[in-house]
Amino acid sequence: MSLVFPKTAAIEMTKEKIMLNCDTCGNPYQEGPHRYEGHKLHRYGGIMVCDGCWQGNHDGWNPHFEPILLGILKEKGLPVPERNEQGLLPRE
């Protein structure tokens, strides 16, 4: 026995997706339903970054993101975190 779903179910699902912009690169990412591509950075005041930024900076933030991250820290009154062994701002 196989289940058959009406084709409209898939269409309705896509209408409900929430698209947000990454706080570091500005690219859109999906936050629901069933896909959650954003990552919350508590150390940087709770900003949200996309999967690409999260995965691409696993060993520390690329220097071209530093002005954005340092600006966010300053705006939120948060301290600049200690740099990692590679001299990069830590991802989390």
Provide the pLDDT for residue 16.
76
Provide the pLDDT for residue 44.
97
Specify whether the CB–CB gap between 58 and 86 falls below 8 A.
no
pTM, 2 dp:
0.77
Sign, CA dihedral 26-29-32-33, equals positive
What is the Cα–Cα distance from 13 to 76, expressed in whole angstroms?
A: 36
Provide the pLDDT for residue 34.
86
Provide the pLDDT for residue 4.
56
pLDDT digits (tens, 9 = 90+) for 51-65: 999 999 999 999 999
Specify whether the CB–CB gap between 29 and 38 falls below 8 A.
yes
pLDDT digits (tens, 9 = 90+) for 1-51: 555 555 555 545 556 789 999 999 999 999 988 889 999 999 999 999 999
Mapped onto helix, strand or coil, the DSSP state of residue 65 is helix
